A = this chain, B = another copy of it.
Amino acid sequence: MTATKQIQNLADKTFATLCSAIITGEIKAGSKISEPELSAQLHVSRASLREAIGRLEACKLVTRKANIGARVISLSQQSLLEIYQIREALEGMAARQAAENASHKEITQLHQLLEHHNKETQKINGARYFQHTGDLDFHYHVVQCSHNQHLINLLGKDLYHLMRMYRYQFGSVSQRVAPALEEHSYVIHAIQAGDGELAELLMRNHIRRSRDNIMTLISEPLS
Q: Which residues of A contact B (CB under 8 A)?
A: 6-9, 12, 47, 50-51, 54-55, 57-58, 60, 66-67, 79, 82-83, 85-86, 88-90, 92-93, 97, 148-151, 153-154, 158
Contact = CB atoms under 8 A, between A and B. Distances in A.
12 contacts: A8-B66, A12-B66, A47-B47, A51-B51, A54-B54, A54-B58, A55-B58, A58-B58, A60-B150, A85-B151, A86-B93, A86-B154
Oligomeric state, in copies: 2
Given A7-B66, A12-B66, A66-B8, A86 B51 contact: no
A64 to B, nearest CB: 10
A196 to B, nearest CB: 11
Contacts of A92: 89
B51 A82 contact: no
Given A7-B66, A54-B54, A93-B88, A82 B149 contact: yes
Main secondary structure of the interface of A (DSSP, over half): helix
A86 B82 CA distance: 17
Nearest to A57: B58
Contact of A60 (B66, B88, B153): B153
Contacts of A90: 86, 89-90
Most buried by B among A79, A82, A148: A82
